[in-house]
Amino acid sequence: MEISTIGPVSYYKTMTVLLLGATSNMAVALARHYASNGHNLQLAARSSKEIEILKNDFSIRYGITAEAYPFDALDYHNHAQWYAAIPNKPDLVILVFGYLGDHERATHQWEESQKIIASNYTGAVSILNVIAHDFEQRKKGTIVGISSVAGDRGRMSNYVYGSAKAGLTAYLSGLRNRLTHAGVHVMTVKPGFVRTKMTEGLPLPAPVTATPEKVASLIYKAAQKKKNSIYVLPIWAPIMLIIKNIPEFIFKKLKL
Ligand SMILES: NC(=O)c1ccc[n+]([C@@H]2O[C@H](COP(=O)([O-])OP(=O)(O)OC[C@H]3O[C@@H](n4cnc5c(N)ncnc54)[C@H](OP(=O)(O)O)[C@@H]3O)[C@@H](O)[C@H]2O)c1
């Protein structure tokens, strides 16, 4: 929990946490983690039914204030209006939504490529532009964006998703550079494999695969420490260092 000091008294500051893509497995774990530490929640996702259920569950279980706001990342033209309608603005925003998609289909069907790009990149830029402006004006706040190790280097098996996440990583880096001057913190999260709805049925290697709960606890601690960018799990940092440094003349011959 964030600790604030005013005069000689230190106290735990209760934050309001806006989760974009609140029905995702990672977001539910994050919501549980923040609520159990006394923070209030704003749950934003496409399914109003699901966020109403989550809202009631979290507020009863943890005695916090929870609000539900139906939200579609692809509804770009309404993002400014949508955010303006939230009466109490958040202190922390965690952008979780994303779409892995079907890479094979994306290579020959534009609609699938477009959905992957829009759900991981364009939608994120659209809503974060609005939130960044508000945080910059208020000169406070934290923005956490969930990108992916897939954005560190394009691979034959998922370069459409990977390139959208690479765009998001670069966007968050630029946003961090801009907002740091206004006292706003931006953190990039690059999960490796995480066992969620998105990866259901995929053969994930256990030693490098995290649970949503582990992701939530790592994000919670890293945001408190104002980290700029983290890998989930830490083992992914050396793995990606190696992958990024493989010379292109070798890399292009690999089947990754
Ligand atoms: N799982 C992994 O191994 C892994 C690895 C690296 C990065 N990530 C990233 O981690 C984040 C969370 O994913 P997850 O693994 O927790 O998967 P998940 O449970 O499938 O969550 C993805 C969420 O994104 C939401 N979403 C998709 N399109 C949306 C839209 N247009 N508007 C609003 N919400 C939308 C989905 O909402 P609905 O419930 O309405 O479908 C879903 O709740 C994603 O950004 C993903 O790319 C995951």
Residue nearest to atom 46 of ligand 1 (CA): 98
Measure the CA–CA gap between 243 and 235, rounded to whole angstroms: 13
Side-chain-facing half-sphere of 1: CA atoms under 13 Å: 17
Residue 2's pLDDT is what?
A: 46
Nearest C-alpha neighbor of 185 from the set 240, 226, 243: 226
Residue 13's pLDDT is what?
A: 86
Hey, what amino acid is at 165? K
CATH number of 13-251: 3.40.50.720
The domain limits of the chain are 13-251
- Ligand 1, CB cutoff 6 Å, lining residues: 21, 23-26, 45-47, 71-74, 96-99, 119, 123, 146, 148, 191, 193-194, 196-199
Atom of ligand 1 nearest to the CA of 97: 24
Residue nearest to atom 18 of ligand 1 (CA): 24
How many Å lie between the centroid of ligand 1 and the Cα of residue 23? 8
Residue nearest to atom 21 of ligand 1 (CA): 24
Residue 46's pLDDT is what?
A: 98
Per-residue tens of pLDDT for the chain, all 256 residues: 444 444 334 346 899 999 999 999 999 999 999 999 999 999 999 999 999 999 999 999 999 999 999 999 999 999 999 999 999 999 999 999 999 999 999 999 999 999 999 999 999 999 999 999 999 999 999 999 999 999 999 999 999 999 999 999 999 999 999 999 999 999 999 999 999 999 999 989 999 999 999 999 999 999 999 999 999 999 999 999 999 999 999 999 999 9
Measure the CA–CA gap between 89 and 40, rounded to whole angstroms: 11
How many Å lie between the centroid of ligand 1 and the Cα of residue 98? 4
Atom of ligand 1 nearest to the CA of 149: 6
pTM to 2 decimals? 0.95
Chain centroid to Cα 103, Å, comes to 21
Residue 12's pLDDT is what?
A: 60
